[in-house]
Chain A
Amino acid sequence: MHALSLPTLAVKGARFKKVAHVFDLLRPILGAIVLAFIAYRLYQVLIVQQEYGADTWTRLLISGLIIGGVYALIAIGYTLVYGILFMINFAHGEVMMLGAYAGLFAFQAFNAIQVGGQAQTSFLNAYPVLAILLAFVIGMFISAAIGYFLEKIAYRPLRKAPRLVPLISAIGASIFLQNAAQLLFSPQLREVTNPDILRRGAGWTISINNANVIIPYTGVFTFVLSVLLLIALYIIVRKTRLGRSMRAVALDKKTAALMGVDVDRTISQTFIISGALAGAAGVMWGLHNGMVYFYVGFIPGIKAFTAAVLGGIGNLPGAMLGGLVLGIVESVGPAALGIDFQLKDVLAFVILIIVLTFRPSGLLGEVLAEEKV
């Protein structure tokens, strides 16, 4: 009976292989089509039409870099958590949104406090550096606290459950936080009060092709701060004891526990760190874009996850690179491909699908423990 069944199985196996691998054969063809399309559009826009001058490209590139820095900060949170728990922390964008609200209210409060003797000025403009620092501390603290409790309430009890369960819990938490913010703070758009030294719209003006290109102060501030935070994070993960235990837990929870790493504590700390980074991103978002409302975290959250996948999930430099690449593509892409600027969100998701199709492990490769891949 066994002797009979083996050959039939083998024959059948060969047939499946064909069906299953049709896509593998299609992949290079599809890739060629996509590349050809991109090349054709680029040729059309850059060489034939020459609609935009160098000034426009610089402008787009600058805004792409700025938004990319913010994406990178949020993407780090996704990648850290995914590396350890193999879970998309769907509520991460909402953590960022609450950080943005915290920053908004902090700036509002600083603007309301009056200091100085005769010439009454607000605290915000009298000590702008201190005020900005405090606003960031508040935003990061709030977001870190939310991240911590989120993990404790919604994720920790589900650590041994099937993987769909914590993901759905995360979606629930995301909806909950979004609507809680809407009910608490009303659905209206709120404008952030910037300190005078970081006025929105103001910036250094450079001249390219006789056209003025403004490099906004808020943008430079955002970009520099995100780079600094990313470097700080990298040092934490690479050089400190906490970073070592994080890497150990990401690699293998059981062995890490046997080596004396407190796994629960490390996971909590991971959520705190990623929450703090998301909070900083939120405050920056408010400073640079000026508008905060309850939906502000959702799309950036999804895009940051895209960025994390783009760079290779679990991979810290990958998330940073992915964030920057996504920011630039989203900002420059529509112009370069000659499509409507309304479709920049579409472009981001299309990139995700293309990356997953042709290079599923991302630009710099995934860094994940073996067992669950």
Chain B
Amino acid sequence: MNTSLRKSIRPGATIGIVHIFFVLIGFNMLVAILFARVSGVKQPDAIPAPVYLMAYSITMGIWAGVAAAQKRKQEFRQVAFAGCVAGGFAGIMAGLLEFGLAIILVKNINVRDVLTVLSANFIKGTLFGMQPAMGVMVTVMLFALGGTLGGALVAFWNSTPFQAFLNRGIRFTKDSVQKAQGVTHGKNRLLWQIASISLLALAVVFLPLNWGSYWNYVLGTVGLYVVLGLGLNIAVGLSGQLVLGFIAFFAIGAYSMALLNAPLPYHLMWGFWPALVLGVLLAAVAGLLLGLPLMRLRGDYLAIVTLGFGEIIRILLKSDVLTAYTGGPRGIQNIGGPTIFGRPFVTDVDFMYLIIGAMLLAMFIYSRLQNSRTGRAWLAIREDETVARASGVNTVRYKLLALVIGAAFAGLAGAIFASRNQFTGPEEHSLMASINVLSLIIVGGLGSIPGTIMGAFALKGLPEILREFENYRLLAFGALLVAMMLSKPDGFIPSRRPKFQIPIQPETREAPKEQDHD
């Protein structure tokens, strides 16, 4: 067997394994249902028509083909052939799986005790409703076809005419962007800025009115997660300390709001604003108290302790011990909202404005901090704590500061969240929520504001739209986290690092400016 063939078989085998995993968790059906949706079927069955499953097989084949054809600088035919081999090999593995499934079906073995998705209907669907032998053959063929297609696609992408076309397109876009910048950055810069800001402001003011309750609810959640994400970003993205139980601070904010504002259990009936302020302060104090003992330790201890802290808070809130004080597993209801200019905030639309305000405030504070002396100290700590300390950065204080400010952000988000939902309970503050927040800032890009917003949309907004994926969401999160770390550890929109060098001019060498951090 020559090396070229072997190189194609490897990705084929990988995709084959992925496919087998997908079938065993029923993911192939989901993709097929999605294909059916896209092509206009209103209510696809649980086992969609064979055509859509075939489309799934071809897609997997294309994936295998693309994987095999990448990094190949060869002729069109060779690359397409490599794709065909990879797809075919993945197809053979898929065929073997289907052969096994067919045996299960024919012999009527009950495997659902172990692998839950493998019902008779599911197996029949996977075999495209055909005779087993036929289904297996079709699968192999579809995979090989997809592989060839994928290989051809890559070859076409890499071909000289297409690259030339692509380059022309990129150059054209760059030119037009530059031209546009010439307009916006020239004399009229101020005017343009005013225009764009006022347009944005108009959108902010009027869009929530037209969204309707559902979208305001969803986007409000996204907005609160942006605040939460920015808070965590101060700790993780800017100062490089991994905080895992971050939702605990959110819970402190939410419960402060709930206990101070709701009629039960204490009937304190504080107003929204004092409760909000106290919630933020309490969250910050919790961050300080938790951080104090840990600051001299290695970073990953902080991770595990904050994780433990998050669990402590959740278990305490849930336990019977505190039921009398915090409502126990049933949570606290009837949390009130604020009143601004005599107008009580009740609906999701009202809260949307509050959330937008909180978001803008968080973004403002974040960006001011990021570009300040404090931000640079955090950067230094993140890059190398020992060097930072040696350069005169008080690492303990700055690390604590990051944790405290991050916790305060979370407290703010939590208080607003509780007030908007008029309810808070222990299960809202589970570990999974912490991991959601962490995932969203990592996926978006550690440290960057646009990244955080994008991550919040991707991880909190998309699942609302793609309801079918509900069961697979966390699985995808996990895989995505690993994949991101392997390929793009900086996220989709990485934060721009300040890049400047002190120009060295031997004649006028002066003592550098004092840069001790207070």
Interface residues of A (CB under 8 A from B): 1-2, 5, 9, 12, 16, 19-20, 23, 26, 86-88, 105, 108, 153-154, 157-158, 161-169, 171-180, 183-186, 302, 305-306, 309, 339-340, 342-343, 345-346, 348-350, 352-353, 356-357, 360, 373
B95 at interface by CB-CB < 8 Å: no
**Cα distance A169–B479 in the bound complex, in angstroms:** 9
- Known A175-B477, A346-B316: A12·B303 in contact at CB below 8 Å: no
Chain B residue numbers with a CB within 8 Å of A26 are 292
CB distance from A281 to the nearest CB of B (A): 19
State whether A342 touches B481 (Cβ < 8 A).
no
- Interface range on chain B (Cβ under 8 Å from partner): 35 or more
Q: From A153, which residue of chain B is reached at the shortest CB distance?
A: B482
State whether B299 touches A163 (Cβ < 8 A).
yes
Chain A residue numbers with a CB within 8 Å of B309 are 349, 353
Query: Besides the contacts A172-B480, A346-B311, A357-B293, what 14 more A-B pairs have beta carbons closer than 8 Å?
Result: A23-B293, A87-B300, A105-B114, A172-B483, A175-B477, A175-B478, A178-B478, A179-B474, A179-B475, A180-B475, A186-B116, A306-B308, A342-B321, A360-B297
B305 at interface by CB-CB < 8 Å: yes
Chain B residue numbers with a CB within 8 Å of A309 are 301, 304
CB distance from B72 to the nearest CB of A (A): 21
CB distance from B493 to the nearest CB of A (A): 17
Chain B residue numbers with a CB within 8 Å of A350 are 312
Chain A residue numbers with a CB within 8 Å of B438 are 168, 171
**Cα distance A1–B475 in the bound complex, in angstroms:** 60
**Which of B21-29, B58-66, B166-174, B417-425 is found at the contact surface with chain A?**
B21-29
B485 at interface by CB-CB < 8 Å: yes
Chain B residue numbers with a CB within 8 Å of A345 are 311-312, 315
Q: From A156, which residue of chain B is reached at the shortest CB distance?
A: B486
Chain A residue numbers with a CB within 8 Å of B311 are 302, 345-346, 349
Chain A residue numbers with a CB within 8 Å of B71 are none
CB distance from A139 to the nearest CB of B (A): 15
**Cα distance A86–B299 in the bound complex, in angstroms:** 11
**28 A–B pairs (Cβ distance < 8 Å), ordered by A:** A5-B511, A16-B394, A23-B293, A88-B304, A158-B489, A161-B489, A162-B489, A165-B485, A166-B485, A169-B485, A171-B438, A172-B478, A172-B480, A172-B481, A172-B482, A172-B483, A173-B481, A175-B478, A176-B475, A176-B479, A176-B481, A306-B304, A306-B308, A345-B311, A345-B312, A346-B312, A353-B308, A357-B294
| Contact among A12, A19, A340, A360 with B397 in the assembled complex (CB-CB below 8 Å) | A19
CB distance from A90 to the nearest CB of B (A): 9
Chain B residue numbers with a CB within 8 Å of A339 are 321
**Which residues of B467-518 are within 8 A (CB) of A?**
471-472, 474-475, 477-486, 489, 511, 514, 516, 518
Interface of A (DSSP majority class): helix
**Cα distance A153–B396 in the bound complex, in angstroms:** 35
State whether B312 touches A172 (Cβ < 8 A).
no
Chain B residue numbers with a CB within 8 Å of A158 are 485-486, 489
State whether B397 touches A184 (Cβ < 8 A).
no
| Contact among B397, B478, B485 with A174 in the assembled complex (CB-CB below 8 Å) | B478
Interface residues of B (CB under 8 A from A): 21, 24-26, 113-117, 236, 240, 242, 244, 292-301, 303-305, 307-309, 311-312, 315-316, 319-321, 392, 394, 396-397, 435, 438, 442, 471-472, 474-475, 477-486, 489, 511, 514, 516, 518
Q: From B511, which residue of chain A is reached at the shortest CB distance?
A: A1
CB distance from B92 to the nearest CB of A (A): 22
- Known A168-B485, A349-B309: A340·B319 in contact at CB below 8 Å: yes
Chain B residue numbers with a CB within 8 Å of A186 are 116
Chain A residue numbers with a CB within 8 Å of B489 are 158, 161-162, 165
CB distance from A185 to the nearest CB of B (A): 7
CB distance from A191 to the nearest CB of B (A): 12
Chain B residue numbers with a CB within 8 Å of A167 are 242, 300, 303
Residue among B298, B438, B511 having the largest count of chain A Cβ atoms under 10 Å: B298
Chain B residue numbers with a CB within 8 Å of A349 are 305, 308-309, 311-312
Chain B residue numbers with a CB within 8 Å of A169 are 481-482, 485-486
Chain A residue numbers with a CB within 8 Å of B304 are 88, 302, 305-306, 309, 352
State whether A302 touches B485 (Cβ < 8 A).
no
- Known A157-B486, A169-B485, A309-B304: A183·B236 in contact at CB below 8 Å: no
- Known A1-B511, A88-B300, A183-B26: A346·B294 in contact at CB below 8 Å: no
**Cα distance A154–B479 in the bound complex, in angstroms:** 10
**Cα distance A339–B435 in the bound complex, in angstroms:** 30
Chain A residue numbers with a CB within 8 Å of B396 are 20
Chain A residue numbers with a CB within 8 Å of B477 are 172, 175-176
State whether A180 touches B25 (Cβ < 8 A).
yes
Chain B residue numbers with a CB within 8 Å of A5 are 511, 514
State whether A179 touches B478 (Cβ < 8 A).
yes
State whether B481 touches A175 (Cβ < 8 A).
yes
**Cα distance A158–B484 in the bound complex, in angstroms:** 11
**Cα distance A117–B78 in the bound complex, in angstroms:** 61
- Known A23-B293, A302-B308: A173·B300 in contact at CB below 8 Å: no
CB distance from A63 to the nearest CB of B (A): 20
- Known A164-B242, A360-B296: A352·B305 in contact at CB below 8 Å: yes
State whether B116 touches A356 (Cβ < 8 A).
no
Q: From A166, which residue of chain B is reached at the shortest CB distance?
A: B485
| Contact among A177, A185, A343 with B316 in the assembled complex (CB-CB below 8 Å) | A343
CB distance from B9 to the nearest CB of A (A): 19
**Cα distance A154–B480 in the bound complex, in angstroms:** 11
Residue among B303, B319, B485 having the largest count of chain A Cβ atoms under 10 Å: B485
**Cα distance A78–B238 in the bound complex, in angstroms:** 28
**Cα distance A183–B470 in the bound complex, in angstroms:** 12
Residue among B297, B475, B480 having the largest count of chain A Cβ atoms under 10 Å: B475
**Cα distance A169–B439 in the bound complex, in angstroms:** 11
Chain B residue numbers with a CB within 8 Å of A9 are 392, 516
**Cα distance A86–B298 in the bound complex, in angstroms:** 10
**Cα distance A19–B486 in the bound complex, in angstroms:** 40
CB distance from A347 to the nearest CB of B (A): 9
| Contact among B295, B307, B319, B480 with A302 in the assembled complex (CB-CB below 8 Å) | B307
State whether A171 touches B115 (Cβ < 8 A).
no
Chain B residue numbers with a CB within 8 Å of A180 are 21, 25, 475
Residue among B312, B435, B482 having the largest count of chain A Cβ atoms under 10 Å: B482
Chain B residue numbers with a CB within 8 Å of A342 are 315, 319-321
